Amino acid sequence: MTVEELIVYGKKYTSSTHTKMLLAVLLEVNPLELLNILDKVVDDSIVNLYKESLKALNENRPIQYVIGHVNFYGLKFKVNENVLIPRFETEELVENIKNYLDKKKITNPKILDLGCGSGVIGLTLKHFFKDADVTLVDISDEALEVAESNAKSLGLDVNFIKSDWFSNVPLDKYDVIVSNPPYIMTDEEIEEIVKNNEPHLALYGGKDGLDCYRKILKDINNYIKDDYLIAFEIGYLEGQDLKELIEKTILNSKIIIKKDLSNKDRMLFVEENID
């Protein structure tokens, strides 16, 4: 079959965008390049893989898992069913941390990424701050395997620890502690494609969505430097409740809740209050 025939075939099963995205990945070209090779005859092995992948998409599997990777902040990360699919708001979280470190002129920060999943946060920060000392933590062996694979493919030297939050993390002081923990409330309605495919261990944070934040905050004072940044991704309904928890836990702190591009509370930052 030719590229053009495969595009027509794919549109029977999924959107035109996903059809071209999938075919471009399998052919190792940019989706825009497909227009220049419409008459190209595709090898049968790729055709068969393409059809199998279309079937998976038709069964409502996320295209990121079908393709096996995502673009995050311009970097290519492997993802599978053992890790969350990174969202745009997580890129915004990284952008804010990057701006903080640039403003403070910290070129060799010590960074702890709690609940790292595929490693997109910690590894992206390591990419931009080559001299950073970055440690990635997760309780899931499978997630750590994905993160380690991403670190290797990106050529980034970081530390990995298997731990339930701080339980196995050696006592040390960090410039930045960042986490995108499970924060979906137990009875919260979410998209079926997310609910049926992404790991529940990384999604659900208890009745009010704050269970994992409580576990992190219980020990966090032992791990932050005097001048620090704590960065959380949060559920859009949880900002004020989490702020109250932090005020009780971290004294003399300045707490900032930021909205994402959809104008929803999605990030919370904690710094030392120097006013």
Is residue 155 part of an annotated ligand binding site? no
Residue 170, annotated ligand binder?
Answer: no
Annotated binding residue 10: no
- 117 marked ligand binding residue: yes
User: Which 8-state DSSP code applies to residue 140?
Assistant: -
**Per-residue CA distances from 171 to 37, 114, 219, 221 (Å):** 56, 14, 10, 11
Q: With beta carbons less than 8 A apart as the criterion, state whether 23 and 50 touch.
A: yes
Residue 122, annotated as binding a ligand: no
Burial label for 157, CB within 10 Å (0-12, 13-18, 19+), is: exposed
Tokens encoding 167: 């339980």
Spatial separation of the C-alpha atoms in residues 184 and 190, rounded to whole Å: 9
- Would you say 50 is a known binding-site residue? no
Alpha helices in 11-119 (DSSP H): 16-27, 44-58, 63-67, 88-104
For 203, phi then psi, to 5°, come to -105, -50
Residue 68 among known ligand-binding residues = no
**Look-up: residue for tokens 């495919």?**
197
65 is in an annotated binding site: no
212 appears as a binding residue in the annotation: no
Q: Is 199 annotated as a binding residue?
A: no
**Residue 181 annotated as binding site:** yes
Binding-site residues for S-adenosyl-L-methionine sit at 115-119, 138, 165, 180
Binding-site residues sit at 115-119, 138, 165, 180-183
Binding-site residues for substrate sit at 180-183
